[in-house]
Chains A and B, each alone.
Chain A
Amino acid sequence: MSTLTIIYAGLFYIATLLLVVGLAYKIFDYSRTPAPLKIPTTPAPVTQTGVVYRMAKEVVLFESLFKSSKWTWIFGWLFHFGLLLVLARHLRYFTEPVWFWVNIVQPFGKYASIMMVVGLAGLLARRFLVDRVRYISTPSDYLMLVLLIVIGSSGMLMTFVAHTDIVALKTFFMGLMYFDVQPVPQDPILLIHLALVALLMLIFPISKLLHAPGLFFSPTRNQVDNPREHRHVAAWAARLDQKN
């Protein structure tokens, strides 16, 4: 086995482990932290079903963002749905036989990468061009976008220009999944693409990418507006009642 294979196999094992453990810990931490008061941003749904609907609109349509900034919404939505389709398309490297719906998205996924990179470029341009957004941007905000753009464009290079050996790639990943490590293909573009994806996985649980799980735990969005009808008390707050 080549050193390169060992490095890449190790990298993906570690990245996956940290991603899963890191995210699981964050989700556990969010869920154990109480929300002592009812603070939904109103008007808010008065039933749990309503909350699911509200949340779905936020996740799928970015409803609040649509209200606030059309440009960010367009670019943000292009990027995320591009990303979603691209990720779905990538499932073919991890499934055997390939799930039938993954086959259906293949052609869309191919062009979704364009959506994704255009969206990212728009978001990056906004960071440079709008003085308010420039003011709040930290180096990591730019780098995150650059990272995703490089991942996206290296992927596109392999899809549209310099095809890589996807059979060997699939062998490599299936091997990782069954703990039977196979050689990683020695294509420089692919190696860059893979290294950056592993980096993205590593930083996911310690960066602003926590917005993905965070949204589901946001009390202003996930609470039912029924404080008059139901008493809502956190454990630490309930102890105060006992003192009376």
Chain B
Amino acid sequence: MAAAEFDIPEIKDYIEVPKLREGAMAHAKTFLAPKPVQDFMGYPHELADDWKESALEKMGDLLGKYRSLKVFLDACVHCGACTDKCHYYLGTSDPKNMPVARQDLMRQVYRRYFTTAGKLFPKLVGAKDLTKDVLNDWYNYYHQCSECRRCSVFCPYGIDTAEITMAGREILNHIGMGQKYSNEILGKVQKIGNNLGLPGPALLDTLEGLEEDIEADTGVAVKLPIDVKGAEVLLVTPSADFFSEPHVESLIGYAKVFHAAGTSWTLSTHASEAGNFGLFNGNYETMRKVAMRIRDAALELGVKRIVVGECGHAWRVAYSFWNTLTGIGYGADDPFSIELQKQLDPNYPQPQHICELTNDLIKSGKIKVDPSKNDDLIVTYHDSCNVARASRMGTEPGGQFIIPRELIKSVVNNFHNMADDTIYESTFCCGGGGGLLTDDLMEVRVKGALPRATALNNVVKEHQVNFMATICAICKAQFTKVLPKYGFDMSMVGGVHQLVAKAIILD
């Protein structure tokens, strides 16, 4: 099937706030999940006669379970501060891609059925009945949000549109409108062990091939062990790292780091995925089920540490939610969590990010690097949204910005940041996060990348930057696909450990 044609936006000197163009993206509709996919997830695959009642019932259920949803739907004053903060609005100029308008798609229904004012004076407060049209808007625009939380930074009440989007998708799934891409992947991770659907034998073959490559390249027998009981570290990484370019280069980087540090480590076939699309769907139990595979693998292999590879939303789930979902972390007083926590080595943060690990090793001199190996590169760094706004590294707030940069600067000699309002907590999403990394949303993805492409273009012009490092599998896949549409070379995107892999000194 040929993808629909659309215009590639033009990169300007700075990020422009466009005039509204109503309905500009109303046609962008991601594929619906077919019956087998929905069946596996336990959702219906088409609307039943009582879809409206069950949607409202689900909404009521979520309002009782999530304070975020309830408070956010009530608190917004329509001040408009968030309206120009979403990369999808900036790239598409569709007003329904303004965070507050995206929330209002649900808020109008919330007001109509759950608030006094909306029951009595719907017109006055913008309350609307839940109709098929509203439902279609939900489906289309809740799949044009990458749940990147940029809006929540700028809202005076911290209203996080991602929470609304997640609730929206959960309700949609519940009544039979699931998204094919995400739900298919959630099926694969639960049946096969990873998002890609890479079966154990294929994974083993891939790792063997990589060991050969590294040895041919460096002369050193760096291993990529898998399912090794009693290893110290379990490394959980996105499955794209086993498969895609440039992702694989970072996997090679992790392997070299463990080799150089002399740390015993292992991958796991059962937990061959760090990503957790349960987050994108907003379903707590799915997210928990997917995360439990890692707990199970850790218990089975008896590892003392759990380290997470380069993946943005995976790090959010790992850092912020694993302790809650699976007891990977500290400070629990229930038997379920204690069972695992007494096995983990308290000298390390659990889970630990691979950047925290490598940066510590370099700083303490346990591994040696030669940054001049990367002298062909002038590097910038893209803060991935979930790492930047939904997690931390190290012990201080903001460590998630400092540690990857420290690490990069220790392995390269030329580094330049992009503009301040496009990095750190203000970073722009790559445009492919939150379950949108699918060909059927290519227009949304390309347009949503405009703010980042603009910022990148400026450092390319000003500092001749020729490499943008990032620590997210989705960012890497999205940028290699989408940046060429803006005239950049796809090979200018890669992982931080890709840089480490080049600079590290092995013996």
Question: Which A residues contact B (CB, under 8 angstroms)?
Answer: 26, 29-30, 33-39, 41-46, 50, 58, 62, 64-65, 67-69, 72, 76, 123, 126, 130-133, 135-141, 143, 203, 206-208, 210-211, 214-215, 217-221, 225, 227-234, 236-238, 240-242, 244
Give, as a whole number of angstroms, the nearest-CB distance from B147 to chain A: 11
B345 to chain A, nearest CB (A): 14
Our pick among B121, B160, B285 for the contact of A220 (Cβ within 8 Å) is: B160
A230/B331 contact (C-beta < 8 A), A33-B64, A219-B68 known: yes
CB of B125 within 8 A of chain A? yes
Indicate if the CB atoms of B329 and A229 lie closer than 8 Å.
yes
Query: How many Å lie between the Cα of A139 and that of B160 in the bound state?
Result: 24
- Evaluate whether A215 and B64 lie within 8 angstroms (CB atoms) in the complex, with A135-B95, A232-B323 already known: no
Closest 10 pairs between A and B when the two form their complex, measured CB to CB:
A214-B75, A138-B126, A68-B154, A220-B158, A133-B80, A43-B397, A132-B83, A230-B331, A231-B332, A68-B81
Nearest-CB residue, chain A, relative to B158: A220
B190 touches A (CB below 8 Å):
no
Query: With A131-B19, A132-B98 known to touch, is A240 a contact of B154 (CB < 8 Å)?
Result: no
Task: Report the separation of the CA atoms of residues A219 and B398 in the bound assembly, to the nearest whole angstrom.
Answer: 19
- A141: chain B residues at CB < 8 Å are 77-78
| Nearest-CB residue, chain B, relative to A50 | B397
CB contacts (< 8 Å) of A238 on chain B: these are 334
Q: Is B149 an interface residue (CB 8 A)?
A: yes
Pick from B200-208, B265-273, B388-396 the stretch touching chain A: B388-396
| Least Cβ–Cβ distance between B172 and chain A, in angstroms | 20
Q: Other than the known A135-B20, A221-B157, A241-B327, what 10 A-B pairs have Cβ atoms closer than 8 Å?
A: A34-B67, A37-B321, A39-B320, A43-B392, A62-B156, A65-B81, A133-B80, A211-B76, A231-B337, A232-B324
B285 and A240 contact, CB distance less than 8 A: yes
Contact B392 A42 (CB under 8 A): yes
CB-defined contacts of B17 to chain A, threshold 8 Å: 132
B170 at the A interface (CB under 8 A): no
Q: In the complex the two chains form, is B425's CB within 8 Å of A42's CB?
A: yes
Q: Judge whether B81 and A69 touch: CB under 8 Å.
A: yes
Picked from A29, A50, A126, the residue with its CB within 8 Å of the CB of B80 is: A126
Contacts of A33 in B (CB 8 A): 63-67, 70
Q: Is the C-beta of B152 less than 8 angstroms from some C-beta in chain A?
A: yes
In the complex, what distance in Å separates the CA atom of A97 from the CA atom of B380? 65
Contact (Cβ within 8 A) A237 B79? no
Known: A41-B152, A43-B425. A231 touches B324 (CB 8 A): yes
Nearest-CB distance from B29 to chain A (Å)?
A: 22
Q: Complex Cα distance A234/B152, Å?
A: 23
Q: Give chain A nearest CB distance to B17 CB in angstroms.
A: 8
- Chain B residue nearest to A230 (CB atoms) is B331
Take A72-B79, A126-B80 as given contacts and tell me if A34 and B154 are in contact as well, using a CB distance cutoff of 8 Å.
no
**8 pairs of residues in contact across A and B, judged by CB atoms under 8 Å:** A26-B74, A132-B20, A136-B80, A136-B104, A138-B78, A139-B124, A210-B75, A220-B152
Contact between A140 and B124 (Cβ–Cβ < 8 Å)? yes
Which residues of chain B are near A215, meaning CB under 8 Å?
75, 156-158
Please indicate the chain B residues that have their CB under 8 angstroms from the CB of A140 in the complex.
117, 121, 124-126
Q: Which residues of B from 314 to 343 have beta carbons under 8 Å from A?
A: 319-321, 323-324, 327, 329-334, 336-337
- B341 vs chain A, min Cβ distance (A): 9
B123 within 8 A of A: yes
Measured in the bound complex, the distance between the Cα atoms of B145 and A36 in whole Å is: 22
- A67–B153 CB distance below 8 A: yes
Question: Do A230 and B95 touch (CB < 8 A)?
Answer: no
Interface string of B335-358 (1 = CB under 8 A from A): 011000000000001110000000
The residues of A that contact B98 with a CB separation of less than 8 Å are 132, 135-136
Taking CB as reference atom, which chain A residue is nearest B96?
A: A135
Q: Is B82 an interface residue (CB 8 A)?
A: yes
Q: How far is the CA of A75 from the CA of B355 in the complex (A)?
A: 43
In the complex, residue of chain B having the shortest beta-carbon distance to the beta carbon of A62: B156
* Residue pair A214, B332 in contact (C-beta under 8 Å): no
Q: How far apart are the CA atoms of A232 and B323 in the complex, in Å?
A: 7
Residues of B contacting A214 in the complex (Cβ-Cβ under 8 angstroms): 71, 74-75, 157
- Choice from A131, A207, A227, A229 contacting B320 with Cβ under 8 Å: A227
Q: Which residues of B contact A37 (CB under 8 A)?
A: 284, 320-321, 324
Are A135's CB and B329's CB within 8 A? no
Contacts A30-B67, A41-B152, A42-B400 given: A228-B123 contact, CB under 8 Å?
A: no
